[in-house]
Amino acid sequence: MPQLDVLAAGCVHGAKGHASPVHHIRIARADEPDNRSHARNANATVARSARSLVVRWRSDCAASIVLRREPIRAGLQVKIASVVGARPQFIKAWPVSRQLRQHGHLQTIVHTGQHYDHQMSDVFFDEMGIDRPDHFLEIGSGSHGDQTGRMIIAIEQTLLRERPDCVLVYGDTNTTLAAAIAACKLGIRLAHVEAGLRSYNRTMPEEHNRVLTDHCSDLLLCPTQTAVHNLEREGIVRGVHLVGDVMYDAVLAFGARAREQSRILASLGVAPRGYALATVHRAYNTDDPDVLQRLVRALDAVGDTVLFPLHPRTRARLNANGGSPTLQHVRLIEPLGYLDMLALEQHARVILTDSGGVQKEAFFFEVPCVTLRPETEWVETVASGWNVLVASDSDAIVAAARDAKRPPEKPPRVFGDGNAAARIAELVTKAG
**Angle between helix 205-216 and helix 174-186 axes, rounded to 10 deg:** 20
The yes-or-no answer on residue 281 being catalytic is yes
Q: Find the catalytic residue in 111, 135, 281, 311.
A: 281
3-state class (DSSP) for residue 56: strand
Residue 190 and residue 167 in contact, taking contact as beta carbons nearer than 8 Å: yes
Cα(95)–Cα(47) distance, integer angstroms = 34
User: Helices in 103-204 by DSSP H: which ranges?
Assistant: 122-128, 144-162, 174-186
3-state class (DSSP) for residue 66: strand
Phi and psi for 303 in degrees, rounded to 5? Answer: 110, -35
Handedness of CA 368, 372, 375, 378 (dihedral sign): negative
Cα(313)–Cα(115) distance, integer angstroms = 11
Q: Residue 36 carries which DSSP code? A: G
Task: For residue 139, count CB atoms less than 10 angstroms from its CB and return exposed for 0-12, middle for 13-18, buried for 19 or more.
Answer: buried
Phi and psi for 55 in degrees, rounded to 5? Answer: -115, 120
User: Helices in 287-419 by DSSP H: which ranges?
Assistant: 289-300, 312-320, 338-347, 356-364, 379-383, 394-403
- Of 166, 97, 99, 110, residue with least CA distance to 136: 110
Give bridge partners of residue 371 from the DSSP assignment: 353, 389
Element holding 93 (H helix, E strand): helix 87-102
Phi and psi for 175 in degrees, rounded to 5? Answer: -60, -45
Q: Are strands 350-353 and 369-371 parallel, antiparallel or unpaired?
A: parallel
Element holding 355 (H helix, E strand): none
Q: Which residues are catalytic?
A: 281
